[in-house]
Structure 1
Amino acid sequence: CLFSCLLSSIEPANVAEALRDADWVSVMQEELDQFARLKVGRLVPRPEGKSVIRTKWIFKNKKDESSLVIQNKARLVAVGYSQQEGIDYDETFAPTAFLNGIIKEEVYVGQPPGFVSKQYPDHVYALDKALYGLKQAPRAWYDVLSQFLIENGFQK
């Protein structure tokens, strides 16, 4: 019980609910720390004439076989359904669904709800790498993986 007693057993219905629970704030911050560690994007002034994709939080409790909560998980995702083919992305097909590939298009996403910079509240993130929910994310990862495998003697 020691470890599981430190976890929140309730999945928040929205960001406001999550921000009232220190356990969820902690896992949200961990997700943002990983975002920074992997250099997924840079905070930049909002570009004129470019679409900015909203972001949202997804909250999930991971449970063991006896339905005991073993991990709280918060994932920041792009609201990709707002992207327009030919404007925000070109190609989406990929035979894999892995993410974190390098994206070729200019993609801007809003700051995470509940974690907007006090110093730069009107800035957005210019993405260098794919974010969950982007239409081109699977293709971006497939391209990186394919290049690595070919460079290491594998064939398509």
Structure 2
Amino acid sequence: MTAVSPPPVSDLSAHLGFWLRAVSNHVSQAFAGKLDGKGVTVAEWALLRTLYGKPPTPPSHLAAEMGMSRGAITKLADRLIGKSLVLRQASAHDGRAQTLALSPQGVGLVPELAALADRNDSEFFGQLSAEERATLERLLKRMVEQSAMHRMPLA
């Protein structure tokens, strides 16, 4: 019996997605580790940052802005309320509706977490020149916009 050779296929590393995933995994895992030291997940950080500087906001508005379901926002908010970082209040316009806002503790924590995000970016992308970094950012943003990738990258 003669052995049939399988057809040639491209190597894993021949795909841009492979390299993008390799960078993304390392950047994301390092940032998640930094946040873990502060008792916050990446998804929680994203909600905290989205609420920062905003008046009390309905969960439905946050869900639309972040590209998440209202149920996912509620779960995140419940965890952050449990950590005393977010407050749930009755809407000033409709007593049946609720809004979410940062607690004073949450307001104080966001700049500290933003500094961790900035440091993480510097650690991974600081090796690029300003021009290279601007080009990478422009290309990635264009891909996101052209492909209508509206969901916030949280995992």
TM-score by length of 1: 0.24
Question: More helix by proportion, 1 or 2?
Answer: 2
Question: More strand by proportion, 1 or 2?
Answer: 1
> In terms of Rg, which structure is larger?
2
